Structure 1
Amino acid sequence: MNVRNKGLMLAVGLGIMLNPLNSSMISVAISRLQQVYQLNFTAVSWIILSFYIASAVAQPVMGKCSDLFGRRKIFLMGLVIVFVSSMLAPWSPSFSWLIVFRIVQSIGTSMMVAVGMAIVRMNVTEKQASALSTLAIFLSGAAAIGPFIGGVLIHWWDWQSIFFVNIPFVMASFWFAWKTIPKDEQSPSISGHMSIRQWLALIDAPGILMFTVALVTLLIGLLSVNSTGDISTWHLLTGGIGLIALVMFIRHELKAATPFIPLRTFASYPEMTWVNVQYMLVNILFYALFFGVPTYLKQVRHLNEVHTGMSMLALGLCSVIIAPIAGRWIDRSGSRPALIVSASLMTFGSILIVVMNETSPIFIIIVALALFGISNGLNAVGMQAALFKSTPKEMIGVASGIFNTSRYLGTILSSLLIGIVMGDTFNVTGFQMLGIILTVLAASLIIMSIRREAGLVSPEQVSK
Structure 2
Amino acid sequence: MAIVAILLGTFIVPINSTMVSVGLQSVATSMNMSMSSITWVVTIYLIVMTVAQPLAGKIGDLYGNRRIFLVGIVLFLVASIVCMLASNFITLLIGRAVQAFGGALITPNATAMLRYITPKEKLVQTFGIFGFSMSLGAAIGPLLGALLIEQWSWHATFAVNVPILVVAFMAAMRYVPHVEVQKQAKLDLIGSSLFAITLSSIVLIVTQQNYTNVVLWLIVIVGAIAFVRYEQRIEAPLIDFQLFRKRNFRAANMSILLNNGVMYGTLLLMPTLLVIDERFTLTQIGAALFTFSVAISIFSWIGGKFEGSIGRKRTITLAFIITALAMCSYFLLITNSSLLVLHVILFVAGIGLGIGVPSMQAASLSDVDKSASGVASGIYSTFRYIGSTIASVLISLQLGASIMMSVLVIFAVVGIVVSAQFEEM
1:453–1:32 Cα change, 3 Å? closer
Aligned residue among 329, 345, 349 for 2:306: 329
Measured in 2, the distance between the counterparts of 1:302 and 1:90 equals 37
Measured in 2, the distance between the counterparts of 1:84 and 1:443 equals 43
Contact 1:353 1:432 in 2 (8 A): no
1:441–1:184 Cα change, 3 Å? same
Partner of 1:251: 229
**Quick one: which amino acid aligns to residue 206 of structure 1?**
I
**Quick one: which amino acid aligns to residue 160 of structure 2?**
V
Partner of 2:101: 107
Correspondence 1:224 to 2:208: yes
Partner of 1:408: 385
Deviates more, 1:158-167 or 1:272-281: 272-281
Q: Identity over aligned residues, as a percent? A: 25
Contact 1:224 1:235 in 2 (8 A): no
Structure 2 unaligned regions, length at least 5: none
TM-score (norm 2): 0.95
Partner of 1:388: 365
Cα deviation, residue 60, structure 1: 0.8
TM-score (norm 1): 0.87
Partner of 2:63: 69
Q: Number of aligned residue pairs: give it.
A: 424
1:317-365 per-residue CA deviation (whole Å, 9 max, x = no partner) reads 2122223321111234332112111111111111112233335423333
Contact 1:283 1:411 in 2 (8 A): yes
Partner of 1:3: none
Measured in 2, the distance between the counterparts of 1:273 and 1:330 equals 19
Cα deviation, residue 453, structure 1: 4.2
Contact 2:273 2:334 in 1 (8 A): no
1:252-295 per-residue CA deviation (whole Å, 9 max, x = no partner) reads 100111111111x2243243122212211111111010122123
Measured in 2, the distance between the counterparts of 1:257 and 1:74 equals 23
Partner of 1:136: 131
Partner of 2:406: 436
1:332–1:391 Cα change, 3 Å? farther
Secondary structure of the residue aligned to 2:237 is coil
Measured in 1, the distance between the counterparts of 2:236 and 2:382 equals 20
Cα deviation, residue 188, structure 1: 4.1
Secondary structure of the residue aligned to 1:17 is helix
Larger radius of gyration: 1
Measured in 1, the distance between the counterparts of 2:371 and 2:402 equals 45
Aligned residue among 125, 148, 156 for 2:151: 156
Measured in 2, the distance between the counterparts of 1:214 and 1:95 equals 26
Aligned residue among 215, 221, 224 for 1:237: 215
Measured in 1, the distance between the counterparts of 2:127 and 2:68 equals 20
**Quick one: which amino acid aligns to residue 452 of structure 1?**
Q
1:301–1:347 Cα change, 3 Å? farther
**Quick one: which amino acid aligns to residue 182 of structure 1?**
P
Measured in 1, the distance between the counterparts of 2:280 and 2:383 equals 33
Correspondence 1:34 to 2:11: no
Partner of 1:172: 167
**Quick one: which amino acid aligns to residue 351 of structure 1?**
C
Partner of 2:7: 13
Correspondence 1:213 to 2:194: no
Structure 1 unaligned regions, length at least 5: 1-6, 191-201, 423-429, 457-464
